[in-house]
Structures are given as C-alpha cells and as structure tokens.
Amino acid sequence: MTIPPYFAKKKPVSASPVTTSSKRTSSVYSTDFQEQYLNALYYMRLSRMLEEKLGALYRAGGRIVGGVYLGKGQEAFAAAMGVQLRMGKDVYGPLIRDQAGRLAFGEPIIETLRTYLGAATGPMRGRDGNIHRGRPREGYMAMISHLGSLLSVVAGALFARRLKGTLGDSIGATSVGDGGTSTGAFHEGMNLAAVEKLPLIVSIANNQYAYSTPNTRQYACENLVDRAKGYGVHGEHIDATDLAACLTAFRGAAARAKAGEGPQIVVGTLLRLAGHGEHDDASYIPDKKRHTHEARDCIEVAAKFAMEQGWVSETALTTQMEEIRRLIDQTVAKVSKEPAPDPFKENWQALSTAGLVEGQNP
C-alpha cells in the first residue's frame, strides 16, 4: 500500500479502495457524491484508528511527550470538509479535532506520527508535540491556537492571493469550536472575511463543551448559526453525526465560495466522544448526554448508510480496516527508528522562518 504523496496534484483517493457493490445504486446521490462519501469514510476510519493508536501510546508512557488531543466523534464533520479541498490549491487551517480532515486534505499518517513521536524527519522537525504542524507552502497552515486565531491566518492567506492576483478559484477552510466562537480573534477574522467577501468556509463544531464549559455558559443566541446573519454571510446548521448531511453542506459551501458568494459558515452539532485531551476523563459530561442522538458514533452511522445504499459491502469494510491497521503498525515501527532532533545542530527557527517554509535544512 502506498502512502499518498504529500505534494499530490490530485487529491489522493482511498489508499485501500472499497469495491462498490453493483447490486443497488442510489438515484438520489450522484456518482461524485458517492465517491466523496467513500473517500471521507475511509479517512474517518483511518483517523479513528490512528488516534486510538496515539491514545494507547500516550497511556503506555515514554513515547509521546506532551498532550494528545483527539477528534473522536467529530470525524464526519472534519472529513466532509477535508474532501472538498485540493492540496496545493486551497488553504486549510485545521484544529485539534480535525485529524480526519487533515488526512482527507492529503496529510500522510507518517507526518502525524513523526510529529507525535518527535522525529526530526517530521514537518516540525520533532519540535512540536502534537497538533501545531503544517506545510505553509502547500497551503496547509499550522495551528496557532484552538481558539479562533487561525481564521485570520486563512483569511489573510486568501486576501494576499487576491492582492497578488493568484487567488483563481482557490478557497480556504478552517474550523472553530463552540468555545472558540466567543473570542475576539474569531470575531475579527470572521468580520474581515465577510467584509472582503473572501472564499472561506468556517466550520463550527459545536460539541457542546469548551473543555468543561457547557453551551449554556458559552453563548446566549439560540443556535450558533444565528451569528451568520450578524456577519452578513451564509450559514447552515446540520447534524454533524450524519456524513451525508455533512457532505451535502460542505459541497454546497465550497461551490458558493468558488462562485464568489463570500464566507460560508457551517455549524455542526455533535458530542466529543473523548476527553478534551487524553488526560481528561470528561466526567463533567452527564451520562444522559452520552445516550442522545448527538452522541451517535458518526463512523458507525456512515458505514451503515453506505452499506444500505449498496455502495460498499461489509467484507470490503473489514478488509479496509485490516489494511488500515497494518498501515498504522508499519508506520509506527518505521517512525520509531527515526532520529530525534539534535539540539546541537538545530538553529531553533520558528515555523515562519526560511528553514521550515523554504524546506531548507537547519
């Protein structure tokens, strides 16, 4: 199995394609939708298993220095946005729950593992513990903070392209959590993007908690999508546990952004199915919440739907999972043998300096 090349001109499709059943085809969904759906499902499953591995390595101790922050339960929302984006053309600023989106955008799992395991061969040369990784030259922005600051970065990148005359039909995408929407950074970025009518998709993952702060202590409007009206942009609210709904929303948002309709807000309701980080047992989430519709596992829901549509068989999904498991195990073994950074050779440049942006060695 090959790992998708980082600089792929074409969006990498599933490294382990699932065989489409010829028994039934849906008349409601286009072939393109079906292909995106199966790709997104692949990245969701890859993300979940990769994150389970990261959680296990963290708990075992000794291998991962720093925190581990996972996107369990948020994979459909993240992947559905990621599959709309074209590596090398669009700008993407993912947050900590967006591992599935990163993979869908084109990040190979070796880059994730090199970052978490601190390998000098990684995109941050082993100097970032977890999620502040990126490839700015490829339009893949490194996260600054989870609390709204990436919005201005992605908006700024789009604005710069427009001023240089290189924007073309490229779009930008970033996410924010329910808590992140309360920050000044979110407001400033959103307002600038709206005023300049930038082709920016902003996904708001409302997982009902900002660490332990519930929605009731976070905002006073009825639904976060109400904010879209205030900014003068298009907004939509969806069930983020439903991959088909997520894809429909992000496909529409991407098309409208490309058509010059300005920023697009997509609010998804879901529940984080893990702690804020792996150090957190999320005991502040009441048990009854864990049995609500929002607590459904989006991967199980998505796989069931694909099988019902006749797009994939259970056998193909089982084979795919075995391939994913092998890919992860092989990559962990490979990265484990790679060197850590040598403090005497590093010149400790920040991300924005030539060493990382231009890909030069220290």
Ligand X SMILES: Cc1ncc(C[n+]2csc(CCOP(=O)(O)OP(=O)(O)O)c2C)c(N)n1
**276 scored as a contact of ligand X (CB under 6 A):** yes
**207 scored as a contact of Mg ion (CB under 5 A):** yes
Q: Smallest distance from the beta carbon of 170 to ligand X, in angstroms?
A: 26
Sign of CA dihedral 148, 78, 192, 219: negative
Contact call for residues 289 and 295 (beta carbons, < 8 A): yes
Q: Smallest distance from the beta carbon of 275 to ligand X, in angstroms?
A: 10
Q: Smallest distance from the beta carbon of 349 to Mg ion, in angstroms?
A: 33
Question: Would you tell me how many other CB atoms lie within 10 Å of the CB of residue 338?
Answer: 16
How many residues belong to the chain? 362
The tokens for 257 are 């952004």
Q: Smallest distance from the beta carbon of 71 to ligand X, in angstroms?
A: 8
Q: Alpha helices of the chain — where are they, by DSSP H? A: 31-60, 75-82, 99-105, 109-116, 150-164, 184-195, 226-231, 243-258, 298-308, 314-336, 354-357
Q: Give whichever of 207 and 241 is closer to Mg ion, judged by the CB atom.
A: 207
**135 scored as a contact of ligand X (CB under 6 A):** no
DSSP 3: P
Q: Find the binder of ligand X among 147, 151, 153, 351 (CB under 6 A).
A: 147
CA 82 remoteness from chain centre: 6
Binding segment toward ligand X, per CB under 6 A, in 41-49, 149-157, 202-210, 338-346? 202-210
Q: Give whichever of 199 and 268 is closer to Mg ion, judged by the CB atom.
A: 268
Task: Output Rg (C-alpha) for the chain, integer angstroms.
Answer: 20
Q: Give whichever of 67 and 252 is closer to ligand X, judged by the CB atom.
A: 67
Binding segment toward ligand X, per CB under 6 A, in 16-24, 41-49, 104-112, 209-217? 209-217
Q: Find the binder of ligand X among 81, 143, 210, 299 (CB under 6 A).
A: 210
**145 scored as a contact of ligand X (CB under 6 A):** yes
Q: Smallest distance from the beta carbon of 274 to ligand X, in angstroms?
A: 10
**46 scored as a contact of Mg ion (CB under 5 A):** no
Q: Smallest distance from the beta carbon of 221 to ligand X, in angstroms?
A: 15
Terminal Cα-to-Cα distance of the chain (whole angstroms): 32
**177 scored as a contact of Mg ion (CB under 5 A):** yes
* Residue 36 contact among ligand X, Mg ion, none, beta carbon within 5 to 8 Å by kind: none
- Residues numbered 41-100 forming contacts with ligand X, rule: CB under 6 A: 97
Q: Smallest distance from the beta carbon of 350 to ligand X, in angstroms?
A: 18
**189 scored as a contact of ligand X (CB under 6 A):** no
What single letter denotes the amino acid at residue 270?
A: L
Q: How far is CA 201 from each of CA 71, 137, 283, 308, 310, rounded to the nearest angstrom? A: 19, 20, 33, 30, 31
Question: Would you tell me how many other CB atoms lie within 10 Å of the CB of residue 12?
Answer: 20
| CA–CA dist 91, 87 (Å, integer) | 8
| CA–CA dist 291, 276 (Å, integer) | 19
Binding segment toward ligand X, per CB under 6 A, in 207-215, 279-287, 301-309, 333-341? 207-215
Checking 190-193 for CB contacts under 8 A at 24+ apart, the result is: 190/151, 190/227, 190/231, 190/233, 190/263, 191/231, 192/152, 192/155, 192/159, 193/151, 193/155, 193/158, 193/233, 193/262, 193/263
**71 scored as a contact of Mg ion (CB under 5 A):** no
The tokens for 88 are 């090398």
Half-sphere exposure of 98 (CA within 13 A, CB side): 34
**211 scored as a contact of ligand X (CB under 6 A):** yes
* Residue 48 contact among ligand X, Mg ion, none, beta carbon within 5 to 8 Å by kind: none
Question: Would you tell me how many other CB atoms lie within 10 Å of the CB of residue 252?
Answer: 15
**275 scored as a contact of ligand X (CB under 6 A):** no
**199 scored as a contact of ligand X (CB under 6 A):** no
**209 scored as a contact of ligand X (CB under 6 A):** yes
Binding site for ligand X (CB under 6 A): 97, 145-147, 177-180, 205, 207, 209-211, 272, 276
Site residues, Mg ion (CB under 5 A): 177-178, 207, 210
